[in-house]
Amino acid sequence: MTTRNDIEQVLWSACDSFRGKIDSSRYKDYILSMLFVKYLSDVSKEKRQDYIQQYEGDMRRVERAMSRERFAMDEESTFDYLYDHRSESQIGQMINVALSRIEEHNSGKLRNVFRAIDFNSQVDFGEVKEKNATLRNLLEDFHKLDLRPSQLGSADIIGDAYEYMIAMFASDAGKKGGEFFTPSQVSELVASLVKPKENDRIYDPTCGSGGLLLKAYKKVPSGKVAIYGQELNAQTWALCTMNMFLHRVDDARIWQGDTLSNPQNIEDDKLMKFQVVVANPPFSLDKWDSGFLTDVEADSKGKKKMTAELDPYHRFDWGVPPTSKGDYAFVLHMLASLDAENGRMAIVLPHGVLFRGASEGKIRRQLVEMNLLDAVIGLPANLFYGTGIPACILVFRKDRISRGVDNVLFIDASAEGNFEKGKNQNLLRDTDIQKIVDAYKKRETMPKYSYRATLDEIRENDYNLNIPRYVDTFEEE
């Protein structure tokens, strides 16, 4: 049987073929794509063998049955074919052709998934001799791996190994790593706060490689939910698409493009609504509005200005966030995409959103006065890749008025004892996550940890949501 450890060892060994030659942020795409091809090939191979047995070698019936499978593979795009030709001088081009055939045969599911990747790249692999040696090593590493479903202890093994590798690459990539991966304990916490249920539509507008969506998906054991996401970066979008298939979430809809200026969650010219919305958007994104400004006239100083009228979906009618800080642009997009009856939403943000003034202060006031803000949770510092700054989670609910809730829960989970100190990064343990989720559920004031504030108290603080104003964590000397 193939264990998760077996898969991870092969992936590490494959990394060794690249280390020192190209940057890990580039070679991750080659390794994870090859894992995906090996998975598709092995699944297809086993299915074909099963059908040959079942139909006693009647190849017409075998081919008909194969055409109804999850993925279609022809002989020349299988991993085994590439492995058999691993010493060919044109092996880089042969892999590219195989990838484009896989896309072609599965265009409904895999269109463009491999378009940003080139196994024949001179930039990444160097001259022909070096390139061929690297690719031969790569194929030999993966050849050791048996990913036929009957050889996998559980259906999640391969998806979990894929996510583990993404996490390793993210940690390696430092600041860039945060762009495609949210640490899994933070994703677990966010998913637990919104409590997905059967028949929910779940959406992440900045979905990266899809880890947060998958955590939310796994909260519903029957899998009866619909998954939607959008990602700007084409390579990260491809990682996410493969991640969904490796976790057997075959009907996920993952769009590519700028969620703010070109949202793809459109139905009948309006924004689609979701019962659950989760996100860890890029912190304080600069020039978030540039996609709106292409046809806008510049003013006398040569500056183009974002206005609420430029958005056909009226997401910024409560205020236009400053160009240099996109945090509230994502908050407003998510709220506009939230189901009006029982929408639940949790978003990871930098602490600045709690107290910065100007247009952000106006937006914050609206969020409180419209009774949408449900909780403010301060996280420990240094949980994220490439940034030591502490973050918070804002939880919003659309059913607060119907439930008669008129307070906001503040939780300060940043103090020592609420996380495990790591060498490069701090870690939320299962007990820390449970403590936050329990406090959120109970909505009680707990000394030095949580405080239930009335809306009047927030008004008295002039809509400043800075956690120390509400949760007193002062220790006597």
Structure confidence at residue 177 (pLDDT)? 59
Strand order in the sheet with 201-204: 253-256, 226-231, 201-204, 276-279, 344-350, 391-397, 373-378, 407-412, 450-454
Structure confidence at residue 176 (pLDDT)? 61
C-alpha span between 348 and 391 (Å, rounded) = 7
Structure confidence at residue 170 (pLDDT)? 79
C-alpha span between 147 and 103 (Å, rounded) = 20
Give the count of beta carbons closer than 10 Å to the beta carbon of residue 131: 20
Residue 135 Cα distances to 17, 34, 145, angstroms: 8, 10, 16
C-alpha span between 113 and 98 (Å, rounded) = 13
- The H or E element containing residue 274 is none
Secondary structure (DSSP) of 281-347 = PPTT-TTTTGGG-TTPPP-TTS-----GGG-TT-TTTT-PPPTT--HHHHHHHHHHTB-TTT-EEEE
Structure confidence at residue 181 (pLDDT)? 78
Secondary structure string (H, E, C) spanning 108-167 = HHHCCCCCCCCCCCHHHHCCHHHHHHHHHHHHHHHHCCCCCHHHECCCCHHHHHHHHHHH
C-alpha span between 272 and 344 (Å, rounded) = 15
**Tens-digit pLDDT string for the chain (477 aa):** 999 999 999 999 999 888 888 887 788 899 999 999 999 999 999 999 999 999 999 999 999 999 999 999 999 999 999 999 999 999 999 999 999 999 999 999 999 999 989 999 999 998 999 999 999 999 999 999 999 999 998 878 999 999 888 888 877 766 565 666 788 999 999 999 999 999 999 999 999 999 999 999 999 999 999 999 999 999 999 999 999 999 999 999 999 999 999 999 999 999 999 999 999 999 999 999 999 999 899 888 889 999 999 999 999 999 999 999 999 999 999 999 999 999 999 999 999 999 999 999 999 999 999 999 999 999 999 988 777 788 999 999 999 999 999 999 999 999 888 899 988 789 999 999 999 999 999 999 999 999 999 999 999 999 999 999 999 876 555
Structure confidence at residue 424 (pLDDT)? 79
Report the predicted TM-score, pTM, of the whole model to 2 decimal places: 0.94
Structure confidence at residue 179 (pLDDT)? 65
Residue indicated by tokens 């969904």: 244
